[in-house]
Chain A
Amino acid sequence: MNKCLTTFIALFMFTSYKAQSQPDMQKIVIHFKHVANGKSLHPDSVYQNPLGETYSVKKLKYYLSNLGFNKQVNTNISLIDAFATDSIKIMLPYPAKKGTFNFQLGVDSIYNCSGAQEGVLDPLNGMFWTWNTGYINFKLEGQSDYATTKTKHFEYHIGGYTGKNKTMRQIRLPYAGTDRTTQLYILVNLDNFWKGQSDIKISTTPVINSPGAIAKSAADNFSGLFSIIQQ
């Protein structure tokens, strides 16, 4: 609860600081391109992960929050569905010519512990655990002959918002564009989900469905998923 309170205060101070220095805002469209094995992600295609396992993807959904250039961020939260979301539009100040484009993969802890939420955080989006309450920050589900489950189903529900096993990740992508950029293209490469700081092997871990050390190590691979496609 205390943790909850401190985050809240921090968030509050942060947002009020922002409000003071508000430069020209404009609509930035962020496009997402989800790929595996260099091909667009499609629910009917079969891919091979870097550990040699073949699989198909039925669902890929994740939360992004605090998106923005350099120090300017927009605290809105977006729920990206690889098979439904091509792009999102957010209000941001004109970007500097270069720097970083930043965001957090996952939902700030305050929203995990302060009761019922709405919009993209509505539990009916299927991204909320009811038995160990909190958001699933990242959800990947599919089929693989390598999965040891009865139905050959694998699912990675990555969440957890406290302590050392928290799964939100700050992601910073080097960015170079013009100061009038209104479109940004982000590549989300699923190949890097399986291999990064740790290996996620379908044959040994077909299911991650609770906060903990395994979810944490899966989250450590998140930053490798994203890069900016320079136009």
Chain B
Amino acid sequence: MAGILFLVLLFFTGAYEKYGPTPLPFVVPKGWPQPPTNIFASNPSTREGFLLGKTLFYDGNLSRDSITSCASCHQYFAAFSTFEHSFSHGIENRFTQRNAPGLFNLAWKTSYHWDGGVNHLEVQALGPITDTNEMGETLDNLLLKLRNNPQYPPLFKAAFGDTAITTKRLLKALAQFTGNLVSAGSKYDQVKNGKDSFLPYEQKGYEIYKQYCSSCHSEPLFTNDKFSNNGLGLNKLNDLGRKRITGLSRDSLQFKIPSLRNLKLTPPYMHDGSMGYITQVINYYTVIDSSLPQLDPILKKPIRLSERNKAELLAFLFTLTDTSFTKNKNYAPGEHIIFRH
């Protein structure tokens, strides 16, 4: 009797699983810290949710002009930054006010955007969707478009159990895609995992990085997720950075410390894309005017690097390029979800 019951139970749980979404476990790369908060706590990561998020991410219908998708500013081949654009193109030839960062390892961030004004990954997408310089769409109209597009109701059903298309589900699905973008396959990571080794000049560059850069661009994420001023002054757009959010004068010109991962793929650099080349950035750090009032105290101590040291640092920074990330079919447009972590 008990045996039959067990079999019946097995059958039901099996059948249940078949029709529910398949969990897509979020895997923390070896040696990395756990994310400070679990962004999937109320949004369980599933293959179906991820696939829906990916479909939305690559869909121009999310914008008013039906052309501008998330991916038009966050390009797959450029680690999801806008390649070689200081500012990105939104709808109707408008431009964003800041440089589009690469999108990866977002699950480890406690705030988003250069000024940290966004407190949760799920609500982040509301900004670009409704911003008149970006996608310029209203939520009402977007939901209507998605409901009338035969592609979407089945995708929402697969991810969330029924065909209802709501703001909350739209945002959760997008966050499943962006939150699962993990880049941890660079040469640096291979070295850390004992699968490769640095060339002598890369090793020297690593030492230089640890001496001058790691307090802010800290391993293994190559950012400590804090705000700082590295000496850049006020730009033409009068962007005060963090102060816009907190209203505090001590936060004036403070910006989120960006990750140094995938640098090679994400030019130009800084919140306003004002530096086109990594060599330019390295040179910049050696000539910072230490008398600047807002400058982070850590950078008051001059960084002196010979030309050779600069080349070594550059070589190390290139080891942070993760081509397995930019070739990962899970993240590419289309339906390839294989997921081998």
Q: Which A residues fall within an 8 A CB radius of B?
A: 1, 112-118, 122-124, 128, 130-134, 165, 210-213
Stretch among B46-54, B61-69, B167-175 lining the A interface: B167-175
**B244–A1 touching, CB < 8 Å:** no
Stretch among B119-127, B180-188, B269-277 lining the A interface: B119-127
Q: Is B245 an interface residue when CB atoms closer than 8 A count as contact?
A: yes
**A118–B119 touching, CB < 8 Å:** no
**B247–A133 touching, CB < 8 Å:** no
Bound-complex Cα distance A3 to B14 (A): 41
Determine the chain B residues whose CB is within 8 A of the CB of A131 once the complex forms. Answer: 113, 117-118, 127
Bound-complex Cα distance A133 to B123 (A): 7
**A115–B122 touching, CB < 8 Å:** yes
Bound-complex Cα distance A213 to B249 (A): 13
**A112–B119 touching, CB < 8 Å:** yes
Stretch among B24-32, B35-43, B307-315 lining the A interface: B35-43
**B245–A1 touching, CB < 8 Å:** no
Q: Is B130 an interface residue when CB atoms closer than 8 A count as contact?
A: yes
| Most chain A CB atoms below 10 A, which of B42, B123, B124, B168 | B123
| Most chain A CB atoms below 10 A, which of B121, B172, B175, B245 | B245
Closest 7 CB pairs of A and B: A115-B122, A116-B171, A124-B139, A130-B127, A116-B122, A130-B126, A212-B247
A113: contacting residue among B117, B119, B172, B244, CB under 8 A: B119
B123: contacting residue among A116, A210, A211, A213, CB under 8 A: A116
B247: contacting residue among A114, A115, A213, CB under 8 A: A213
- When C-beta atoms are compared, the residue in chain B nearest to A121 turns out to be B168
**A115–B167 touching, CB < 8 Å:** no
**B171–A133 touching, CB < 8 Å:** no
Q: Which of B152-195 contact A (CB under 8 A)?
A: 166-168, 171-172, 175
Q: List 8 A-B contacts (CB under 8 A).
A: A115-B175, A118-B166, A122-B166, A123-B123, A123-B139, A128-B123, A131-B127, A133-B119
Q: Which B residues fall within an 8 A CB radius of A?
A: 36-37, 39, 42-43, 110, 113, 117-124, 126-127, 130-131, 138-140, 143, 166-168, 171-172, 175, 244-245, 247
**A118–B168 touching, CB < 8 Å:** yes
**A123–B119 touching, CB < 8 Å:** no
Bound-complex Cα distance A211 to B171 (A): 24
Determine the chain A residues whose CB is within 8 A of the CB of B122 once the complex forms. Answer: 115-116
**B121–A115 touching, CB < 8 Å:** yes
**B167–A114 touching, CB < 8 Å:** no
Determine the chain B residues whose CB is within 8 A of the CB of A118 once the complex forms. Answer: 166-168
Determine the chain B residues whose CB is within 8 A of the CB of A123 once the complex forms. Answer: 123, 126, 139, 167
Bound-complex Cα distance A207 to B85 (A): 34
> A124-B140, A132-B117, A133-B117 are known contacts. Are A116 and B172 too (CB-CB below 8 A)?
yes
**B36–A1 touching, CB < 8 Å:** yes
A133: contacting residue among B118, B139, B168, CB under 8 A: B118
> A130-B126, A130-B130, A213-B247 are known contacts. Are A116 and B119 too (CB-CB below 8 A)?
no
Minimum Cβ distance to chain B for residue A124 (Å): 4
> A122-B168, A213-B247 are known contacts. Are A130 and B123 too (CB-CB below 8 A)?
yes
Bound-complex Cα distance A172 to B247 (A): 31
**A116–B167 touching, CB < 8 Å:** yes
